[in-house]
Amino acid sequence: MKNVKIVNVSGLNTVNYVDGREGKFRMISKCKAGYVTCSNAREFENIQLNKSKAGILSGYKKGALQTVEFSPNNSEGSEYWLTIFARVGKKIKVIDESILMELEVGVINQLWDTTELYNQNQYKAVNSKTWADKAYVMNETVNEDLTIS
């Protein structure tokens, strides 16, 4: 992605662990029975999530996703996991900048409206007008000259 700057007036704690790297993902979610469970993304899911990090937050039912971890591909053979998204109740403890760069207003309004991600002041700060607009990067306003001849 070209040089995109995140606008974060919500005060979310951000990290930059992904930093353009590809890797594997695993998600910790709450099941219907009420306990948490860990799921490793399958290979085809890893490919998709590496292309679109915001898809991580839209892949689970509302309120189910608790934590997302990322293990970068490396040549050393070691495997370690970094937390790129974590929430406790309504509070977002940490979120990676790569997720924020792609996150759309519609995803937040549908699935994350009870958390800190949902913030009307944030939407105003980045000129969001529709659900398809980005929530944490500046949206360019389109001014059309409507002259009738």
Q: How many domains does the chain have?
A: 1
143 within some domain: no
Residue 8 within a domain? no
Which pTM value belongs to this model?
A: 0.86
In a domain, 43, yes or no: yes
> Are the C-beta atoms of 56 and 27 separated by less than 8 Å?
yes
What is the rounded CA–CA span in Å between residue 104 and residue 54?
8
Tell me whether residue 36 is in a domain. yes
Instruction: Please indicate, yes or no, if residue 65 is contained in any of the structural domains.
Output: yes
How far is Cα 107 from Cα 109, in angstroms, rounded to an integer?
6
Whether 30 is covered by a domain: the verdict is: yes
* Domain annotation covers residue 11: no
Cα 67 to Cα 74, 125, 136, distances in angstroms: 22, 27, 20
Residue 142 — pLDDT band, cuts 50, 70, 90?
Answer: low
Segments forming the whole domain that contains residue 80: 17-96
CA 96 to CA 10: how far, in whole Å?
A: 14
The pLDDT-based confidence of 54 (bands split at 50, 70, 90) is confident
Q: Is 37 among the domain residues?
A: yes
